[in-house]
Chains A and B, each alone.
Chain A
């Protein structure tokens, strides 16, 4: 903590925190307020009398209604959940096993392979989608959920592997050695001792992977074309921006509803998630 007079605490702690929170939360506020403002207010020129972009006295649900009834938003939500869910499960399982192997099994070139996996994570998606789209076409997976379920792990697995590798390394080796002396095989020691201890790490990996695939844009944009196959980020932007006309109300409603599941996931697991980030293993 900062020592000294009160003004120092305000200057160096409280005011920066308030500014930071304001900057972080303002976009969400803007999203919510735009969702509930009627079109007549949204498209009023900025120099009109009584112009106030930060508040409305006539809140309305018409944009949400439009989004749910006139677009395929609920289908997009289902698609996104399915795709994000399955690719997260695949990636976390692979990441846990690969991370464990890289952290614990002293096989030749383990360090090199670890670095190699990390390097693949650094290849930008904006390059990778070109060869991937070729592969998707060859396997006739275009415009199906599988196009994304199978391509998201290309960046999720390296991510999960690295996160889990770091987590496993923080777990004392002796726990596993003790289990193996106690009569467990390496696999059983991992199953009964290491995995339960690594639950916070696994949850963090899962939450991150889920969020990354939920928000993913470019693969979803390239590999999916028919409206009923789209995910939320692509569906909202491609169907609610027509030409140069932005349907701000439904757009923001889509963004708001689309971010709710992620927010729920975070808030459910936030305690485990923080424990996972700090790698705390209480012995």
Chain B
């Protein structure tokens, strides 16, 4: 059990700067998820925690120890790899026992620990098989088992579920979460899948181009994204964005307008939007915060849209619409009577309207 402290961490491969000044505190027993598009530096950061990649500058602490120069074996961590990395010439039992043998545990102790881990992961029946005789899901369990037998201080996961099919991935995701509840070991988990990030993480780190964009609890990131990138990356379907010009309203307050819409800026945002009067900014609204307008919606929060495609998913229907020059997606009741090319009145939920600076992308 330990916390992981990352301070001003940098990594350069020759001239390519892949991790830029990362500062993070991963608390004891926390499940921390790194998420971001490929090439954002999340895996490199994980590998620096593991000791598989040298640190260009900065510091990594596990517990109270600075581990910058410690070899991986002395960091008391366990790692689960994307391709499982099971030793193909060893049985499942030997795969799980390898780390304990290397650390010179007593034979009885090894047997007991492997049995315990096998019980937890329900792989007792395969202990004497070779990895190639196992299915993808079973291999994944063995890889997990190999990590948990040692009772390490920190688990590191490098996209462990991305080689599984969709159904199994959901199942393993739930099991991983249960396993974490049961063991309570600090975990760092890298993924490019925002659903995994949202469902698994106690907290989530969103990274892009080697920089941390935002750190926080999943819903905090979802409802209060720090910038346009985080807003667009989390959530499916993604947040809608529209470029608007801010104008002072003669009746007080501000109006955000472009060719397709004209909305009164909700009072919650007026103070922050004020300085942008006469300039452009980006509005963001999630598909589920749009609905088909009825009489109760104030007309200054409603706009016209033309339906281009309807995707009926069963639990909801996605309306892909054109609003002026922008495309927008609304998530509505699955039984919505809309058809293609219909002109609809769409209302927004003003509490969930986001605004971002055009240049920096930062939330306004």
Among B50, B73, B78, B83, the residue within 8 A (CB) of A172 is: B83
Decide yes or no: A283 and B99 within 8 Å by CB, A177-B72, A181-B78, A196-B89 being known contacts. Answer: no
- Report the interface size class on chain B: 20 to 34
Among A175, A177, A183, A185, the residue within 8 A (CB) of B52 is: A177
Decide yes or no: A283 and B81 within 8 Å by CB, A182-B102, A184-B102 being known contacts. Answer: no
A174–B85 CB distance below 8 A? yes
With a cutoff of 8 Å between Cβ atoms, the chain A residues found around residue B79 in the complex are 177-178, 181
Can you list, as one digit per residue, whether each of A149-189 has a CB less than 8 Å from chain B (1) or not (0)? 00000000000000000000000101101111111110010
Check: B87 CB closer than 8 A to any chain A CB: yes
With a cutoff of 8 Å between Cβ atoms, the chain B residues found around residue A192 in the complex are 98
Can you list, as one digit per residue, whether each of A79-115 has a CB less than 8 Å from chain B (1) or not (0)? 0000000000000000000000000000000000000
Tell me the bound Cα distance from A184 to B78 in angstroms: 13
With a cutoff of 8 Å between Cβ atoms, the chain A residues found around residue B132 in the complex are 282-283
With a cutoff of 8 Å between Cβ atoms, the chain A residues found around residue B99 in the complex are 181-183
Among A184, A196, A283, the residue within 8 A (CB) of B83 is: A283
Tell me the bound Cα distance from A172 to B73 in angstroms: 19
B98–A179 CB distance below 8 A? yes
Decide yes or no: A181 and B50 within 8 Å by CB, A174-B85, A283-B131 being known contacts. Answer: yes
* Cβ < 8 Å to A, chain B residues 1-52: 50-52
Q: Which residue of B lies closest to A199 (CB)?
A: B89
Check: A270 CB closer than 8 A to any chain B CB: no
Chain A nearest CB, measured from B355 CB (Å): 44
A282–B85 CB distance below 8 A? no
Tell me the bound Cα distance from A283 to B77 in angstroms: 23
With a cutoff of 8 Å between Cβ atoms, the chain B residues found around residue A172 in the complex are 83, 85
What is the size, in residues, of chain A's interface with B at 8 Å between Cβ atoms? 20
A177–B89 CB distance below 8 A? no
Decide yes or no: A175 and B73 within 8 Å by CB, A181-B50, A183-B103 being known contacts. Answer: no
Check: A197 CB closer than 8 A to any chain B CB: yes
Check: A281 CB closer than 8 A to any chain B CB: yes
Q: Which residue of B lies closest to A180 (CB)?
A: B72
With a cutoff of 8 Å between Cβ atoms, the chain A residues found around residue B82 in the complex are 174
Can you list, as one digit per residue, whether each of B79-100 has a CB less than 8 Å from chain A (1) or not (0)? 1011111111100000000110
A174–B81 CB distance below 8 A? yes
Check: A256 CB closer than 8 A to any chain B CB: no
Check: B278 CB closer than 8 A to any chain A CB: no
B85–A175 CB distance below 8 A? yes
With a cutoff of 8 Å between Cβ atoms, the chain A residues found around residue B131 in the complex are 282-283
Chain A nearest CB, measured from B106 CB (Å): 15
Check: A193 CB closer than 8 A to any chain B CB: yes
Decide yes or no: A177 and B85 within 8 Å by CB, A182-B146, A192-B98, A283-B131 being known contacts. Answer: yes
B86–A283 CB distance below 8 A? yes
Check: B71 CB closer than 8 A to any chain A CB: yes
Tell me the bound Cα distance from A281 to B89 in angstroms: 10
Tell me the bound Cα distance from A235 to B47 in angstroms: 59
Tell me the bound Cα distance from A178 to B51 in angstroms: 11
Q: Which residue of A lies closest to B103 (CB)?
A: A183
A178–B85 CB distance below 8 A? yes
A182–B50 CB distance below 8 A? no
Among B51, B84, B89, the residue within 8 A (CB) of A197 is: B89
Decide yes or no: A180 and B71 within 8 Å by CB, A197-B88, A282-B88 being known contacts. Answer: yes
With a cutoff of 8 Å between Cβ atoms, the chain B residues found around residue A185 in the complex are 71, 73
Chain A nearest CB, measured from B63 CB (Å): 17
B87–A193 CB distance below 8 A? yes
With a cutoff of 8 Å between Cβ atoms, the chain A residues found around residue B77 in the complex are 181
Tell me the bound Cα distance from A197 to B88 in angstroms: 7
Tell me the bound Cα distance from A146 to B131 in angstroms: 45
Tell me the bound Cα distance from A180 to B81 in angstroms: 13
Among B51, B83, B85, B102, the residue within 8 A (CB) of A183 is: B102
* Cβ < 8 Å to A, chain B residues 91-135: 98-99, 102-103, 131-132
Chain B nearest CB, measured from A121 CB (Å): 30
Tell me the bound Cα distance from A142 to B103 in angstroms: 51
B73–A183 CB distance below 8 A? yes
Tell me the bound Cα distance from A116 to B99 in angstroms: 38
Tell me the bound Cα distance from A177 to B87 in angstroms: 11
Can you list, as one digit per residue, whether each of B146-185 has a CB less than 8 Å from chain A (1) or not (0)? 1000100000000000000000000000000000000000
* Cβ < 8 Å to B, chain A residues 179-230: 179-185, 188, 192-193, 196-197
With a cutoff of 8 Å between Cβ atoms, the chain A residues found around residue B73 in the complex are 180-185
Decide yes or no: A188 and B72 within 8 Å by CB, A178-B81, A181-B78, A282-B132 being known contacts. Answer: no
A182–B98 CB distance below 8 A? yes
4 A-B pairs closest in CB distance: A182-B99, A183-B102, A174-B85, A178-B85
List the interface of chain A (C-beta within 8 A of B). 172, 174-175, 177-185, 188, 192-193, 196-197, 281-283
List the interface of chain B (C-beta within 8 A of A). 50-52, 71-73, 75, 77-79, 81-89, 98-99, 102-103, 131-132, 146, 150
Q: List 28 A-B contacts (CB under 8 A).
A: A174-B81, A174-B82, A174-B85, A175-B87, A177-B72, A177-B85, A178-B85, A179-B98, A179-B102, A180-B52, A181-B50, A181-B52, A181-B73, A182-B98, A182-B99, A182-B150, A183-B73, A183-B99, A184-B98, A184-B102, A185-B73, A192-B98, A197-B87, A283-B84, A283-B85, A283-B86, A283-B88, A283-B131
Given contacts A181-B77, A183-B103, A183-B150, 17 further A-B contacts (CB under 8 A): A172-B83, A172-B85, A175-B87, A177-B72, A177-B81, A177-B85, A178-B87, A179-B102, A180-B71, A180-B73, A181-B79, A182-B73, A182-B146, A183-B99, A184-B102, A193-B87, A197-B87
